[in-house]
Structure 1
């Protein structure tokens, strides 16, 4: 019997008018060639390596840690558990809250957090008041032998936080971070097969990904 597989696109669309981290610029798309003039269509795309739905490498903030191309390709796929934190608007995600899911997390390779902020994509509110891990919660998650953590918001730290404690804690364990995910709402409380393969860029501190959830 053929196995039924449902694919869920967890990726925001890259386009010129899209939210980007404050201080950076949206991507620029230029038509280099057209079918009418050249017989083929091609665009020149200029953008930051952390644009849209993307993965952060540990070397994004820690010089001694791995770039994306140095990590094994298997790093970017695995079993994921989705946790609902959408009720914590403007609050922190405490270790005690996450600990109630420890049995599930120990069966996973990724934890994905549904904040609901993907529904604010394109509005000023996207950059404000999303739930953020405490450093203790981040350290606790790092102790559970995960490949990475994913979020449907702009950052694992508050926008404007120059210390980036959560990023650095997670990177110190050579884990990856996936930001700007979407469509996690229907997956809350579920295990999915998750993939977030980056472009193969030399010395990559980050890369856009096509994040996908697979339900068997």
Structure 2
């Protein structure tokens, strides 16, 4: 084929592709306009900034019971086979992870049963860093929720409400998990607060600590009330300090193993 013919052929091909993409874009716009898509308005309005709310973790990452949350075992070695992979032993409630309803109920929904529309939702960030600086077991209380609503407007139904206590900055220091004498100590939600959020049809709550309940909880009141109600939680969130109180959409990459009580998750926020 001559050079001129080749150039003309490429030009025609590019024009055809442009027409195809333009048609696809027009079709997508029509679908959105007609309301046939389930995408939330917050996604369409996003500027495209992505904040990773997930800690990378290994066997050194702090856990509630103090035991390693993930174990690595070489299954295939590169120097022997030309490729490599690990055999992993993972405990569900380690790292940045989800607590599914089944975690604290005999027959609640497993992590595989969580409705997908609950995994993409508006994110509301409650900042209690000032309170937590003076009290390692500080809690989100109804007054904190009321103050947030007064400043930012109503909490949307189906949203994720996350506690920002500043605790993620302690990761790598023993104080992330416990006091100097070994007692568990970290902020969490109060049951009164989560009861209020349940009445608002909030889909999930999140914390930047090891547990939805504060470290000194004796009864796990939040776990026993929030999760059996069909809602879920996210523990060990990262980078909440990079987000505004409102305006972000959270994407919760929940694992989907059958009968799972929870599991490590990749959680990201889009602004």
Instruction: Provide the TM-score with structure 1 as the length reference.
Output: 0.91
Aligned pair in 2 of structure 1 residues 26, 106: CA closer, same or farther (>3 Å)?
A: closer
The structural deviation recorded for 1:202 is 0.7
Q: How does 1:114-125 map to 2 (within 5 A)?
A: 114-125=164-175
Matched, 1:59 2:93: no
Q: Relative contact order (C-alpha < 8 Å, sep 6+): which is higher? A: 1
Q: SS of the residue aligned with 2:227?
A: helix
The structural deviation recorded for 1:152 is 0.8
Give the RMSD, CA atoms, in angstroms.
1.9
Partner residue, 1:96: 143
Distance 1:5 1:108 in 2: 22
Distance 1:140 1:196 in 2: 23
Partner residue, 1:28: 71
Q: How many corresponding residue pairs?
A: 214
Aligned pair in 2 of structure 1 residues 22, 188: CA closer, same or farther (>3 Å)?
A: farther
Per-residue CA distance 1:89-124 (angstroms, 9 max, x = gap) = 223322122112233413661111111111111221
Distance 1:203 1:125 in 2: 33
Q: Rg: which structure is higher?
A: 2
Distance 1:98 1:49 in 2: 30
Partner residue, 1:159: 215
Q: Is the 8 A contact 2:139 2:214 kept in 1?
A: no
Question: For structure 1, which segment, 114-123 or 95-104, has the greater mean C-alpha deviation from structure 2 after superposition?
Answer: 95-104
Matched, 1:6 2:49: yes
Partner residue, 2:163: 113
Q: Is the 8 A contact 2:127 2:163 kept in 1?
A: yes
Q: Is the 8 A contact 2:255 2:262 kept in 1?
A: no
Give the strand-richer structure, 1 or 2: 1
Partner residue, 2:249: 193
The structural deviation recorded for 1:23 is 4.5
Any unmatched runs of 5+ in structure 2? 1-43, 179-184
Question: For structure 1, which segment, 44-53 or 130-139, has the greater mean C-alpha deviation from structure 2 after superposition?
Answer: 130-139
Q: Is the 8 A contact 1:82 1:191 kept in 2?
A: no
Any unmatched runs of 5+ in structure 1? none
The structural deviation recorded for 1:30 is 1.4
Q: Is the 8 A contact 2:123 2:247 kept in 1?
A: yes
